[in-house]
């Protein structure tokens, strides 16, 4: 074993441990691996390690470009309201029994997800599912996991259903083999969809938990809050006092200070830490029982008591709403205090739900993450403003595209169909079809260039490029072939020759699936496909069955909420616990494994 192989294995171990521990973001881990590879190869001038030009050659891989383009196509379909087509049909099904609704919902969502990126499909339909759950009289936790799983089923059926399929196809093509066809994976994806649907219909209601949503941690009294404004009177004893030290805001009184307006301008910073002055207008949140107490405080005037000549300020009923931090929000990675959430959105964050736990303490210093569910309180006007924001996705009101954009839905749909048709008929490579399609979508106003660039999951592309470079280094140093030889050696030691390839498919599936549950699906494919090519070379068979098995295993991630982004989103919204996914998803993983091992050898000959 050479030092180059040891070095590459050390990098691989670092990447795996870093992905699992999540001490640093996954894209930063991948970027670090990429940087170290370039640095060491330049420093040592080793013939075994890829040189600078070879390493940078990963940027010439068409798969990441295609993936970026499909992000934009999916965003255009979302913004023009194309995904909302399914919403109207689902609303007609609320009178069906639970099992009937689940079956039709899973088939419909999977059909859309086969051609549209999974994440926007789930994000658009989450508020719809919450609304339908209330109409059906079932817990939202009974619908949200099936929603996420349905989007994953759809992704296994087509080349563009998920980024992992496109990535695997690109690696396969670069290795000198024919790329994966548009509907080639349907031979195994459709049986998985059928078996998965039947499983959820028969056992979903029993296995899925009855979990509380974030609003249920509040009592009925807490939910009924009112927004009002008070006026600090002349000669008030509150003048010069820090707001949080006043009797008005004493803990347990049910009054919160949302904002201080001074001379017509909101005072920046945390309002409760500001010194009050004569004439300040205080925007307060009061529980019903606390309004009377606020009314009794000396030195302030509530509406109806203002002195002559002062404008009366109406008391508006506040509302409690839930929202999810959007995938591309610029508030990700920042704390509520850093972004001055109260001032920016005129809303108060009451609690945050993350990874199965409700957090209500030290919220100001909590750094937000994509998929965090926020419980917020604010006035009707503030909520209406937030509903149009691209930072927070409100869960109690589905987004309605602007009429001017919605009118371009036929263009977006026609463009998507054209991309699929051109790629299916091999008229042009899929990367060319996607690039042309993106240009058409921008030129016709289906999506603005700024929105298009913001819709790309750049962190995923960084992960892909970094793992492609690591996979390339494993291949050039012989590390991938070494792993392949060891795996084949273990199998040939006990298995008869006619079963070795089938058993190896099972092993490849299990390893890829394990990687996906705790790493990233794209990282799993980028690392495993080069190894599968080595396995096929050692066995002297066609690598295609192994690559297909790796694709399905990377997509079919059900047992944890962190293996797939859609699982992460419904994790917070549905109030799930980590083991809820294991309880429902592990049998589904076994089903997908069984279907793949049975179907792949029969469809793709060795």
**SS (HEC) of 14-41:** HHHHHHHHCCCCHHHHHHHHHHHHHHHH
Q: What is the pLDDT of residue 223?
A: 47
Residue 195 to residue 190: CA distance in whole angstroms? 9
Q: What is the pLDDT of residue 312?
A: 31
**Residue 519: which of 46, 19, 92 has the closest Cα?**
19
Do residues 435 and 69 touch, judged by C-beta distance below 8 A? yes
Residue 343 to residue 330: CA distance in whole angstroms? 16
Q: What is the pLDDT of residue 305?
A: 36
Residue 212 to residue 139: CA distance in whole angstroms? 8
Length of the chain: 606
Instruction: Give the domain 321-394 fold.
Output: Alpha-Beta Plaits (3.30.70)
Q: What is the pLDDT of residue 311?
A: 34
Residue 477 to residue 414: CA distance in whole angstroms? 46
Sign of CA dihedral 125, 127, 130, 131: negative
Can you list the residues of the chain whose pLDDT is less than 70? 212-228, 250-254, 286-319, 355-363, 397-404
Domain boundaries along the sequence of the chain: 66-213+403-416, 226-317, 321-394
Residue 221, helix vs strand vs coil: helix
Residue 430 to residue 427: CA distance in whole angstroms? 9
Q: What is the pLDDT of residue 394?
A: 84
Spell 77-96 as b/e; 16+ CB within 10 A means b: bbbbbbbbebbeebeebeee
Q: For residue 229, which phi and psi values (nearest 5 degrees)?
A: -125, 145
- Could you count the other beta carbons within 10 Å of the beta carbon of residue 221? 12
**Residue 166: which of 299, 257, 66 has the closest Cα?**
66
C-alpha separations of 589 from 144, 368, 396, 496, 511 in Å: 18, 31, 32, 27, 13
- CATH no., domain 226-317: 3.30.70.1450
pTM for the model stands at 0.79
Render pLDDT for 187-199 as a digit per residue (tens, 0 to 9). 999 999 999 999 9
Q: What is the pLDDT of residue 355?
A: 64
Q: What is the pLDDT of residue 313?
A: 31
Render pLDDT for 562-596 as a digit per residue (tens, 0 to 9). 778 888 888 877 778 888 999 999 999 999 999 99
The reply to whether domains 226-317 and 321-394 share a CATH topology is yes
Q: What is the pLDDT of residue 216?
A: 52
**Residue 27: which of 388, 450, 467, 440 has the closest Cα?**
467
């Amino acid at each position: 074993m050479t030092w180059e192989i040891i070095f590459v294995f050390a990098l691989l171990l670092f990447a795996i441990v870093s992905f699992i521990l999540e001490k640093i973001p996954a894209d930063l881990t991948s970027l670090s691996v990429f940087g170290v590879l370039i640095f060491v190869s330049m420093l040592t001038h080793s013939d075994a390690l890829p040189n600078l030009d070879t390493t940078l050659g990963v940027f010439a891989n068409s798969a990441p470009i295609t993936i970026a383009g499909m992000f934009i196509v999916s965003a255009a379909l979302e913004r023009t309201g194309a995904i909302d087509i399914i919403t109207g049909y689902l609303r007609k099904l609320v009178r069906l029994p639970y099992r009937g609704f689940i079956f039709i919902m899973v088939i419909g969502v999977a059909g859309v997800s086969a051609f549209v990126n999974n994440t926007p499909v789930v994000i658009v339909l989450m508020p719809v599912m919450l609304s339908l759950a209330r109409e059906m009289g079932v817990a939202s936790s009974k619908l949200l996991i099936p929603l996420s799983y349905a989007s994953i089923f759809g992704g296994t059926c087509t080349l563009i259903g998920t980024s992992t399929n496109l990535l695997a196809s690109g690696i396969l093509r670069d290795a000198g083999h024919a790329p994966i066809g548009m509907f080639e994976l349907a031979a195994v994806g459709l049986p998985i969809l059928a078996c998965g649907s039947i499983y959820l219909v028969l056992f979903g209601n029993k296995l899925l938990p009855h979990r509380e949503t974030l609003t249920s941690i509040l009592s009925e009294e807490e939910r009924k809050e009112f927004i009002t404004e008070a006026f600090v009177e002349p000669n008030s004893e509150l003048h010069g006092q820090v707001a949080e030290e006043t009797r008005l805001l004493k803990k347990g009184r049910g009054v919160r200070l949302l904002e201080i307006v001074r001379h017509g301008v909101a005072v920046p910073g945390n309002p409760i830490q500001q010194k009050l002055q004569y004439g300040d207008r205080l925007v307060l949140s009061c529980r019903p029982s606390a309004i009377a107490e606020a009314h009794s405080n000396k030195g302030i005037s509530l509406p109806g008591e203002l002195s002559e000549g002062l404008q009366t300020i109406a008391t508006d009923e506040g509302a409690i709403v839930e929202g999810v931090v959007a995938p591309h929000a610029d508030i990700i990675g920042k704390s509520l205090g850093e972004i001055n959430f109260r001032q920016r959105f005129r809303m108060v964050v009451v609690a945050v739900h993350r990874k199965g736990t409700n957090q209500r303490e030290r919220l100001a210093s909590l750094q937000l993450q994509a998929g965090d569910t926020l419980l917020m309180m604010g006035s009707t006007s503030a909520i209406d403003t937030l509903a149009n924001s691209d930072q927070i996705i409100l869960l109690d009101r589905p987004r309605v595209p602007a009429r001017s954009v919605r009118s371009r839905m036929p263009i977006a749909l026609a463009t998507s169909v054209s991309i699929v048709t051109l790629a299916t008929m091999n008229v042009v490579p899929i990367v060319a079809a996607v690039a042309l399609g993106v240009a058409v979508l921008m030129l016709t106003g289906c999506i603005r260039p700024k929105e298009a660039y913001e819709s790309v999951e750049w962190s995923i592309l960084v992960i892909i490029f970094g793992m492609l470079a690591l996979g390339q280094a494993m291949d050039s140093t012989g590390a991938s072939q070494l792993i392949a030889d060891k795996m084949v050696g273990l199998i040939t030691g006990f298995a008869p020759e006619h079963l070795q390839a089938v058993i190896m498919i099972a092993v490849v599936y299990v390893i890829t699936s394990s990687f996906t549950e705790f790493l990233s699906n794209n990282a799993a494919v980028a690392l495993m496909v080069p190894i599968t090519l080595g396995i096929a070379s050692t066995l002297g068979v066609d690598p295609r069955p192994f690559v297909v098995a790796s694709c399905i295993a990377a997509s079919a991630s059900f047992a944890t909420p962190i293996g797939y982004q859609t699982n992460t989103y419904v994790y917070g919204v549905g109030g799930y616990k980590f083991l809820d996914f294991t309880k429902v998803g592990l049998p589904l993983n076994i089903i997908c494994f069984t279907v793949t091992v049975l179907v792949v050898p029969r469809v793709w000959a060795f």
